[in-house]
Amino acid sequence: MQILNTKDEVIQAISESNLQPKNSLTSTNYGNHVTFQCSCNETHTVNDISNQVFAIAMPVKFCFICKNQHVSFVQVKGFFSQKANTIWSCKADLFNEALDQLGM
């Protein structure tokens, strides 16, 4: 997992991630064993309803905001046995500053 510490790092990560708005088909219906690391120093389950899905990307990537106000970009892999991998993570206020600068 890459922890992003500056607004420029977040802007670059957003531009490389090809984020799209979540849609009606967005589902985090995975087993409790599918977990990801977060920059808040906790491990979260992908299906935890306290994690807000902010955006998605293909294939099977989610941009979560956790209850501790951190953003994590996570990819879920596997068909019969799923595993989540955190690509990058940062504080939510830093993420919001980057979105503001991008005009999003």
Confidence (pTM):
0.94
CA distance 52 to 39: 15
Report pLDDT for 20: 94
Task: Encode pLDDT of 49-68 as tens digits.
Answer: 999 999 999 999 999 999 99
Task: Tell me how far the alpha carbon of residue 21 is from its chain's centroid.
Answer: 12
CA distance 62 to 22: 9
Residue 30's beta-bridge partner residues? none
Residue located via tokens 């209850």: 67
